[in-house]
Amino acid sequence: METYTTVSFFESGVWRSVMLVGVLLLSLLVANILKRKIPFLKKSLIPNSVLGGLILLVISSICYFISGNYLFNLDLFSKDGSGIRTLEILTYHCLAIGFIAMTLRPMKKASGGKRAVEILNSGISTICTYMIQAIAGIIITTLATFAIVGFAPGSGILLAFGYGQGTGQALNIGKNFDLSLGESAYSSFGLAIAALGFLTASIVGVVYLNYLRRKGRLEIKSASKTEALTVFDVQNPDEPAMNESIDKLSTQCAFVAIAYMMAYGMMYLLGNVILGEGSNLTGTIYGFNFIFGVLSAVIVKAVLNLFRKRQVIKHQYTNTFLLNRISGFAFDIMIVSGICAIRVHLLAEFWWVLLILAVAGAVLTFVYMKFVTRKLFPAYQHEQFLAFFGMLTGTASTGMILLREADPDLKSPVSENLVYQNFPAIILGFPLLLIAGRITAKASSITTALVMLAIIVAIFVILNLVLFRSFIFRKKKNEG
């Protein structure tokens, strides 16, 4: 006979998850108030999610040093000290959910041959920056192995994921290092790099923005007041009415959920069935959940478009406004939970490696993107630099914040470059994901780290030849 345990709604276990998520959202509100009231924070342009995460990280760390337990591992938020694990799970899932929602948005194609070239160049320069961050990171951490016994030589590749892709991927790759080495430090290591990346984007980006304004290289523009949304912004005429029997937000959430379930099916088939649960690559497959999420979202989007073309459905059911809200919410939760999931005591032994990586990542990203934007985007080089520096040390939203300071009305094509560069970047960046999988599978091997470093350098050189093709081949043609 089946047994059933009666749920008592007054038990603390029923409320733990609610309390945890509630505190995460509360930190966003507190961060928003602080940013509005404190001039320094307002000028720094640090995102509310980053500030909220840092506030919780400080509180959590103080709690650890006083009680021996981090804030979210207390019984109020978790059972048996599993709160940090819950935060990591939230970060993991929100990464994929945010990407799926962004991919499902109905978007117009960028027109014009010149614009296509600029978008392609934007995507290539993004991947080249990942590569240069990975090169510097692996060199630094390989050298660090001579000072720290047992330190993973290839863990510096986390610089490319923490700076280049943000909290979610930094956690995923860091977790793969932990699984390979049987440790728990590298997930916090990756999250710490991502947090330092956000600070780099917010502080260095604003300092350079003000420098450009003082030098007269960037026109001082008054930011446009927040414009009221029109009916067309919220609902396209081709979409079903808002007052249908099913709420439109529910419809968007359903599409996101369907795509994510498909992504899980793909990962299970590839990781658990084809490779097998005992394979070293199974964890890597699940670490790339956002890639499978994007692929699934593309399939869902294609099916909807096909149904509409065949008149099976007569309306555009995906809504840009609501999908933007879903992705924004997911990324806010991802960043807050990712930052406050850092366990600072695990970083005590190699905090100096973190600082070296942070400085090297900031300097190399700044110098390389400055060179690229001056050469390839001369008509709007400063706007392109600020947006892409913000994105390549923080996230796309950080880049957009800096761009709006330089170009409040988004008259330059940079905002389009930020969006559309994702398509070539995902394709061109896939080898880096495979390389990361190989490094994490043999995390303690210096030989593997150096071989993968050589491959990254080779890819970096090839991509730069493609990126600067018009200069290189024109010069050779003139010499001939």
DSSP label at 5? P
How is 13-67 classified by DSSP, letter by letter?
A: HHHHHHHHHHHHHHHHHHHHHHHHH-HHHHHHT--HHHHHHHHHHHHHHHHHHHH
383, part of any domain: yes
Are the beta carbons of 161 and 196 closer than 8 angstroms? no
Reported confidence tier of residue 274, pLDDT bands at 50, 70, 90: confident
Lowest mean pLDDT among 178-192, 302-316, 413-427: 413-427
Reported confidence tier of residue 30, pLDDT bands at 50, 70, 90: very high
- Among 155, 217, 219, CA closest to 181: 155
Predicted local distance difference test score (pLDDT) of residue 223: 47
Domain residues for the domain of 163 are 87-218+332-479
Can you tell me the mean pLDDT for 72-98?
Answer: 88
Would the pLDDT of 228 be above 60? Answer: no
Predicted local distance difference test score (pLDDT) of residue 218: 73
Are the beta carbons of 368 and 384 closer than 8 angstroms? no
Would the pLDDT of 13 be above 70? Answer: yes
Can you tell me the mean pLDDT for 289-306?
Answer: 89
Cα(109)–Cα(90) distance, integer angstroms: 33
402, part of any domain: yes
DSSP label at 79? S
249, part of any domain: no
Can you tell me the mean pLDDT for 432-450?
Answer: 91
428, part of any domain: yes
Are the beta carbons of 72 and 86 closer than 8 angstroms? yes
3-state secondary structure of 339: helix
Residue type, 378: P
106, part of any domain: yes
* Non-local CB neighbours of 386 within 8 Å, separated by 6+ positions: 205, 208, 209, 399, 402, 403, 405, 406
Cα(275)–Cα(261) distance, integer angstroms: 20
- 14-28: per-residue pLDDT in tens? 888 899 999 999 999
Query: b or e along 29-60 (b: 16 or more beta carbons within 10 Å of the residue's beta carbon)?
Result: eebeebbeeeeebeebbbbbbbbbbbbbbeeb
44, part of any domain: no
Reported confidence tier of residue 220, pLDDT bands at 50, 70, 90: low
449, part of any domain: yes
303, part of any domain: no
Reported confidence tier of residue 1, pLDDT bands at 50, 70, 90: low
Hey, what are 50's tokens?
């980053």
Average pLDDT, the chain: 85
Would the pLDDT of 430 be above 90? Answer: no
CA dist list (Å): 431 to 87, 123, 393, 426: 29, 14, 20, 10
Hey, what are 67's tokens?
């009680």
- Number of structural domains, the chain? 1
Would the pLDDT of 479 be above 60? Answer: no
